[in-house]
Structure 1
Amino acid sequence: MVAHGGGSIMTVIEREILIEAPRHVVWQVLTDPAQISQWFSDDARIDLRPGGAGTFVFGPRVNQLDGPIPVDLVVQAAEPPERFAFRWAHPAGSEARVDNSLLVEFTLTAEGEHTRLRLVESGYDQVDWSPQVREDTINDHAKGWDTHLTTLTAYAPQRSASS
C-alpha cells in the first residue's frame, strides 16, 4: 500500500490472503527453495535460520529480462510454522541493515484447515533512495507481490493435496 497523506508517502506494502492449505504446507512453500522456485523466483538458496544468507534468482520466467538477476537476502526470523522474515534489496556486497534494505515479513495464522498469510514489506522510508526510485520500487514490488501471492494461492493447495 502506498498511501499519501500529510505531504509524505507511507512506505509499507501490506497484503493478506487466505490460502486453502494447512499452515505447515504454506510454511514449506514459503521457505523450501524447491517450493519457492514454483511460485516466486526462478531459483532460490536459503539458510533458514536467523542470520542465514540466501539468494533469490529472478530469471526470464519471472522478470521478463534476458539474464538472471540474483537478489541476496538475510533471514531475520524463521519461526515455523508462524513467521518468516528476511531483509533484501541492499546494495550488492554490503551487509543488510535497517538503513539499506527492505524487510519482508510473512505471518501465518491457521483458520481451520486453511491459512491466513499476512505479508508486510517495510523499510522504504529508511533506504537512501531518490523519491522517484523509492516510488518506482514501491510500485514494482506492490505489483510483484500481487502476482506472486496469486500464484502462491493457487500453488499451495496443490502441494497440500499431494502431501
Structure 2
Amino acid sequence: MSTVSETDRIERSIVINAPRERVWRALADAESFGTWFGADLKGQTFLPGQRTRGPITIKGFEHIHFDVVIERIEPQQLLSYHWHPYPVDPTIDYELETPTRVVFTLHDAPDNTTLLKVAESGFDNVPPHRRLEAFRMNGNGWAAQLENIARHASA
C-alpha cells in the first residue's frame, strides 16, 4: 500500500464572487484562461486528449510555455490537465519527466458565489533534484492564480 507524501499534492481553494457559469467560462475557455493565468492562448481551445500550448506573458517568465494536455472536461464541474510543474530551465527536457495532474472543481457557494478548488498531484514523480522547488513554487503560484481568476471572473 502506498502513501501519499506531504509534498506530493497541493490543494488550494477560493470563494469567487461570481456565478458558477462565469467562473466556468474563465476556466474552460482557453483564451479566457490565458488572460488571467498569464499565457497567450489566442485561437486555442481546451479539448480532452488535446495539447494546448502558448508562451507565458508574465514578466520574467516569457521564455516558458504554458503547455498542458487536457484530461477531462465536465461542464461547470471539473477541468483537469497534465503538465510539467515549474519548467523554467531551458536546458532541461521536461518531456522526459512524468507530468503532474491539475484538477479544478467548481461548487456552488452561498449568495450566488462559486467555490473553486484546485489540486495538483504527482510531485513525488518529479525528479528529486527539482521536486521541492517545483512544489514550493507551484504552491505559491496556485495561491496567486486563484486570486487572478477571482478578479477576472468577478469583474
* Smaller-chain TM-score bracket: 0.7 to 0.9
Letter in 2 for 1:58: I
Letter in 1 for 2:103: E
Give the match for residue 3 of structure 1: none
Letter in 1 for 2:69: V
Note the C-alpha offset of 1:38. Answer: 2.2
Contact 2:31–2:45 (Cα < 8 Å) also in 1? no
Name structure 2 gaps, 5 residues minimum. Answer: 86-92
Identity between Structure 1 and Structure 2 (%): 28
Give the match for residue 15 of structure 1: 12
* Alpha-carbon RMSD: 2.3
Q: How many residues align?
A: 143
Give the match for residue 101 of structure 1: 99
Note the C-alpha offset of 1:123. Answer: 0.6
SS in structure 1 of the partner of residue 124 of structure 2: coil
> Which of 64, 71, 75 does residue 70 from structure 2 map onto?
75
Query: Does residue 156 of structure 1 match 2:153?
Result: yes
TM-score, normalised on structure 1?
A: 0.77
The within-5 A match list for 1:104-143 is 104-112=102-110, 113-127=112-126, 129-130=127-128, 132-143=129-140
User: What is the rounded CA distance, in whole Å, between the counterparts of 1:124 and 1:69 in structure 2?
Assistant: 19
Contact 1:53–1:72 (Cα < 8 Å) also in 2? yes
Contact 1:33–1:43 (Cα < 8 Å) also in 2? no
